[in-house]
Amino acid sequence: MASLRDYIRVASGKGKADLLIKNGKVVNVFSGQIERTDVAIWKGLIVGFGDYEAKAAIDVEGDFLCPGLIDGHVHIESSMVTIPEFARAVVPHGTTTVVTDPHEIANVLGSNGVRFMAESARGVPLNVFFMIPSCVPATHLETSGAVLRADDIKTLLAEPWALGLAEMMNFPGVISGDPDVLKKIDAAEGRRIDGHAPFLSGKDLNAYLVAGIRSDHETTNQKEAKEKLKNGMWIMVREGSTARNLNDLLPLVTPENARRFFFVTDDRHPRELIEEGHIDSMVRKAIRRGMDPVLAIQMATLNAADYFRLEGLGALAPGYRADILVFDHLSRFQIKKVFKDGRLAAENGRTVPSRFSRSSFSLNRFKETTQGMGTVQIKPLSKEALVVRGEQPQAKVIHLIPDQIVTKKAVRNILLKNGIAHPNVGEDILKIVVIERHQATGNIGIGFVQGFGLKRGAIGSTVAHDSHNLVIVGTNDPDILKIVEEIKSLGGGMAVASDGKVLASLALPIAGLMSGTSVEGVDSRLEKLHRAVKDLGCQVRDPFMALSFLALPVIPELKLTDKGLVDVTQFKIVPLFGEG
Amino acid sequence: MASLRDYIRVASGKGKADLLIKNGKVVNVFSGQIERTDVAIWKGLIVGFGDYEAKAAIDVEGDFLCPGLIDGHVHIESSMVTIPEFARAVVPHGTTTVVTDPHEIANVLGSNGVRFMAESARGVPLNVFFMIPSCVPATHLETSGAVLRADDIKTLLAEPWALGLAEMMNFPGVISGDPDVLKKIDAAEGRRIDGHAPFLSGKDLNAYLVAGIRSDHETTNQKEAKEKLKNGMWIMVREGSTARNLNDLLPLVTPENARRFFFVTDDRHPRELIEEGHIDSMVRKAIRRGMDPVLAIQMATLNAADYFRLEGLGALAPGYRADILVFDHLSRFQIKKVFKDGRLAAENGRTVPSRFSRSSFSLNRFKETTQGMGTVQIKPLSKEALVVRGEQPQAKVIHLIPDQIVTKKAVRNILLKNGIAHPNVGEDILKIVVIERHQATGNIGIGFVQGFGLKRGAIGSTVAHDSHNLVIVGTNDPDILKIVEEIKSLGGGMAVASDGKVLASLALPIAGLMSGTSVEGVDSRLEKLHRAVKDLGCQVRDPFMALSFLALPVIPELKLTDKGLVDVTQFKIVPLFGEG
């Protein structure tokens, strides 16, 4: 381990640097200027600009250099891969630091899940900092795999990888002064507390802010952003796979206020990681929309580092981590080389293999985390369990809205035969089932959903926000049971079945959320799943995403959890039959 | 004590605010914009902008509101008053937060001195944060009253009022990897470490920076500032009583890099505090020089708060401290009202007396700190002790340079009578004496100084950087002894004597550095001292300031400490007689 004394010795020119990157045009995020200079690196840190003796040199021949990019808020689980595989996907795009909220795995495994994620980040050429999930479970209307209480949060916050409290989604709890919520806020004293406050405004926003919450990534329009900005929030500009706010928010950014904005992805699925990239895609988009490239790079680097108080990250300077990108055109921002801790980690979109060799570790280590039991614990299910008995045909049906996570509450006449309710494929009223999968309680919620368009078979997934129980939509009970069986044998994941046969599947053995394979591997499996679902007549663009939000009881209007049908507007369980 | 829950309740509009400041134009340092709105305050914090019910209201009729100003680096001892009196002087000028380095008192009293300062700040309507002195004593060539070792620093850093490590003046120690210096830097891990690096450049600067030092207040020209800025230093723009760098540095500031600049005073004497003001004078000066007023206000508020990570300070927003200034013209920046913690603390340049009632406490508490012994411990001095015997007339003489703290080393023929060296008033070669005053060691350094112009008498002071021993310049030994006697009886301070009579004096009983009275009281005493010195023929503009730097052995070329004559270029004690 190099000591401070050694770094000083090399920086002062008395010892040889490891590497000299020569003839780079350094984008200096402090001065806002670009200067042609050499950069000397020793044992992971930049020791100085200028001419140094070094053991090795790379001439970048006038290419630009800038700091590695920072994603200020991301749920890595949404990419359905482990952290080593996520790193393999994003590092070639220039991301060298992420601040992640392991909210999904925490809902399955609590503190153990968070610790597993932190452990799996070790040795990976990506700086991974953790915000500790604030809202596990999200509600009392569902059964999650775990609970994170204020004490658990406090314990986790003591870890070196923990930065603060993750997005405080329970804004009604904050505003109403819910004691359990305030205990969590107290537990995070002196740390950053991220917000999650869509459309919050006026005195409600003020109440949320006096609690010390200082950022928001759910801001979707300029009016909202203006109010949050002037009231002291950092605005996390988000471009996820679905939620995309950069175009709407960018016009608000000026040199005078830019320091309060930075880039986040929140959720990126494998397809967008492959096709668009990561934070680099946001920098490119911002530049294309006319933003000064240096300002865009500040937003992707220094600003997030400032907000999270990440010492030695987000800039290139003596004593800073040698996380350095090489790119050729200031306006194109196509990344050619990525240095992580002063060593090449990716070049021309490809990783340097020797630096990414930990993915199998994650899977094995995960098995230890659950003592080999996995995270799909379902009480054996009889055919009878899926039977819905009703005395009146009128029932509440979840009505899907294309490409949205909100649903409508519809009241429809259900197909009743001998007092038993059946799916009605002709009217696209299908059965939806949510099966508790964490503790084998046998909890099962059953309802009906309209809008999937499946003509045959069933589809199911253990990715189902926020409790990630097993959610299945099907045209018939035998195929629904087939899905249960398949997902059990996968140890979690996604599947499509029809006529008693599994047509396609994706194993997500890590908490029922993540694969042990690569982003590309997951993407090609997802592609097969999507084709299979389409072949069954489904019209929904991304049926598994639609499925994953049907059990989320905080998004209106009608949802289904393992505890039953939830009228979100009333925030309570309601009977399936009848209007009220 | 109000709880978070209570703040939320009031912010959400469910309880009455204490105060509503109506019709202000709020200078928003986050957005860079100005908006007319009301500001609601409850128990010291801003709870929200907008219309709130409140127990009291003040209509500011379209006046501007901005956050209280921050002085990012100040030695309060230089103002020669206690913290309560300092607050009384600066709060009417809009300063509501200072980050102070109690370097002077630490040289006299070590940790006890630092703790005394922190204690004396309690209850004062000024936020006072402490950087822990890094270089006590400044050198081994003098006897200080105390030593602060790495362990002491670590202990002090654990205090809630301690932010980080104060200006690391020993840059040669850092660059050479001095183990004691590096231990101090290690002790401050994770905290801010302020720099002090005049003209440091190139690899030496890089070596200094890899140690994690991230600011500098000794930057005096643009070239220097540019290099420090791009290498990751925050630039503290200083306007002290003597060192004034604003005019030189301001042209470098742009909206793109302004966040890395903020304002400090370093040292302000009573006269400048009274005549110019404090940080407000820097804002005015910046605006007069054409800077956008909002940018100037950001530099005086948010930027320092960002650097020091001062949560809830440096801006006006919900959850932020209600330290609010009211002023009328954006470009004139004349402060009309100062709210500290939501209550009026000053108006039209006058303090609200009920909020400033602690100065006598400081003096009493200080007596406890030294157990009534004071800090002037001088071994009884005989006339004989002042006698200088020499065998050759050629001696090294400290040659004053007007208005500078550097001196020249001159070699002159001294007036020798019977082997005894005498002052030579005709040639303005006077005797200078530095008497150790902390531990009554009897250490005494004697030399000769040219440039004061005194025709009669002697002057002396216990303010003498950095060890603050008693330094006296005189035309004759009896008057020098008179000064010693007077300063002993004052318990420290400044005095002028002639013909065996004290002509004027200023008691500085608090560590020999600070008065128990007000800034105005000290200023009028200083005025009398200056007049008396002038009457004795002295030509120097500020003779006590000149005196205070003659014992500082880190500023070239020739200085005198209690250990003897110091050739600063050689950094060693040299004999008085002879050239070498």
Per-residue pLDDT of chain B (580 residues; tens, 9 = 90+): 689 999 999 999 999 999 999 999 999 999 999 999 999 999 999 999 999 999 999 999 999 999 999 999 999 999 999 999 999 999 999 999 999 999 999 999 999 999 999 999 999 999 999 999 999 999 999 999 999 999 999 999 999 999 999 999 999 999 999 999 999 999 999 999 999 999 999 999 999 999 999 999 999 999 999 999 999 999 999 999 988 999 999 999 999 999 999 999 999 999 999 999 999 999 999 999 999 999 999 999 999 999 999 999 999 999 999 999 999 999 999 999 999 999 999 999 999 999 998 767 788 889 888 888 899 999 999 999 999 999 899 999 999 998 888 999 999 999 999 999 999 999 999 999 999 999 999 999 999 999 999 999 999 999 999 999 999 999 999 999 999 999 999 999 999 999 999 999 999 999 999 999 999 999 999 999 999 999 999 989 999 999 999 999 988 999 999 999 999 999 999 999 998 7
- Say whether A211 and B8 touch across the interface (CB within 8 A): yes
Q: Which A residues in the span 317-376 are in contact with B, Cβ-Cβ below 8 Å? A: 317-320
Q: What residues pair up with A412 in beta bridges, in sequence order?
A: A395
- DSSP run (H or E) holding A347: strand A343-347
Residue B236 near residue B217, CB atoms below 8 Å:
yes
* Alpha-carbon gap, residue B401 to B549, rounded angstroms: 12
Residue type, A522: V
Q: What residues pair up with A35 in beta bridges, in sequence order?
A: A26
How remote is the C-alpha of A36 from its chain's centroid? 37
Q: Which residues of chain A have pLDDT under 50?
A: none
Residue A233 near residue A225, CB atoms below 8 Å:
no
Q: Which residues contact A45 (CB under 8 A, 6 or more apart)?
A: A7, A312, A318, A319, A320, A321, A322, A342, B210
- DSSP run (H or E) holding A226: helix A222-230
- Say whether B232 and A318 touch across the interface (CB within 8 A): yes
* Interface residue A210 vs chain B (CB under 8 A): yes
Q: Which residues contact B391 (CB under 8 A, 6 or more apart)?
A: B419, B577
* Interface residue B13 vs chain A (CB under 8 A): yes
pLDDT of residue A1: 63
Q: Residues of A with CB below 8 A from B202's CB?
A: 50
- Say whether B11 and A203 touch across the interface (CB within 8 A): yes
Q: What residues pair up with B415 in beta bridges, in sequence order?
A: B422
Q: Which B residues in the span 213-232 are in contact with A, Cβ-Cβ below 8 Å? A: 226, 229-232
- Say whether A177 and B295 touch across the interface (CB within 8 A): no
Of the candidates A7, A50, A204, the beta carbon closest to that of B210 is on A7
Q: How far is A9 from chain B (nearest CA, A)?
A: 7
Q: Which B residues in the span 486-505 are in contact with A, Cβ-Cβ below 8 Å? A: none
Of the candidates B50, B185, B320, the beta carbon closest to that of A232 is on B320
Residue A192: closest C-alpha in chain B = B311
Q: Residues of B with CB below 8 A from A185's CB?
A: 4
Residue B377 near residue B488, CB atoms below 8 Å:
no
pLDDT of residue A361: 76
Q: Give the A:B interface size as CB pairs under 8 Å.
A: 173
* Alpha-carbon gap, residue A327 to A446, rounded angstroms: 53
Residue A189: closest C-alpha in chain B = B311
* Alpha-carbon gap, residue A314 to A520, rounded angstroms: 29
Report which of A317, A255, A368 is spatially closest to residue A46, judged by C-alpha positions: A317
Q: Furthest-apart CA pair in chain B: how many Å? A: 90
pLDDT of residue B566: 96
Q: Residues of B with CB below 8 A from A226's CB?
A: 31
A200 C-beta neighbours (distance < 10 Å), count: 25
Residue type, B382: S
Report which of B68, B70, B79, B125 is spatially closest to residue B102, judged by C-alpha positions: B79
Residue A126 near residue A90, CB atoms below 8 Å:
yes
* Interface residue B4 vs chain A (CB under 8 A): yes
A312 secondary structure, DSSP code: T
A191 secondary structure, DSSP code: S
Report which of B481, B535, B525 is spatially closest to residue B505, judged by C-alpha positions: B525
Q: Which residues contact B427 (CB under 8 A, 6 or more apart)?
A: B412, B450
* Interface residue A256 vs chain B (CB under 8 A): yes
Residue A209 near residue A231, CB atoms below 8 Å:
yes
Q: Which residues contact B456 (CB under 8 A, 6 or more apart)?
A: B425, B475, B479, B498, B499, B536, B537
* Interface residue B185 vs chain A (CB under 8 A): yes
Q: Residues of A with CB below 8 A from B5's CB?
A: 177, 179, 182
Of the candidates B13, B182, B203, the beta carbon closest to that of A4 is on B182
- Say whether A320 and B30 touch across the interface (CB within 8 A): no
- Say whether B203 and A48 touch across the interface (CB within 8 A): yes
Complex ipTM value: 0.94
Q: How far is B336 from chain A (nearest CA, A)?
A: 24
Q: How far is A316 from chain B (nearest CA, A)?
A: 8
- Say whether B311 and A254 touch across the interface (CB within 8 A): no
Residue A311: closest C-alpha in chain B = B190
Residue with tokens 């700086």: A127
- Say whether B231 and A49 touch across the interface (CB within 8 A): yes
Of the candidates B28, B209, B255, the beta carbon closest to that of A255 is on B255
* Alpha-carbon gap, residue A544 to A241, rounded angstroms: 14
Residue B314: closest C-alpha in chain A = A232
SS (H, E, C) A73-85: EECHHHHCECHHH
* Interface residue B295 vs chain A (CB under 8 A): yes
Residue with tokens 């409140």: B54
Residue A533 near residue A505, CB atoms below 8 Å:
no
Residue A202: closest C-alpha in chain B = B50
> Which strands, in side-by-side order, build the sheet including B420-422?
B388-389, B420-422, B415-417
B498: its two tokens: 């002639």
* Alpha-carbon gap, residue A388 to A394, rounded angstroms: 13
A431: its two tokens: 């059965």
* Alpha-carbon gap, residue B329 to B337, rounded angstroms: 13
> Which strands, in side-by-side order, build the sheet including B394-400?
B407-413, B394-400, B444-450, B429-435, B470-474, B458-461, B493-498, B501-507
DSSP helix/strand/coil, A489: helix
- Say whether A203 and B13 touch across the interface (CB within 8 A): yes
pLDDT digits (tens, 9 = 90+) for B221-248: 999 999 999 999 999 999 999 889 999 9
Q: Residues of B with CB below 8 A from A207's CB?
A: 8-9, 11-12
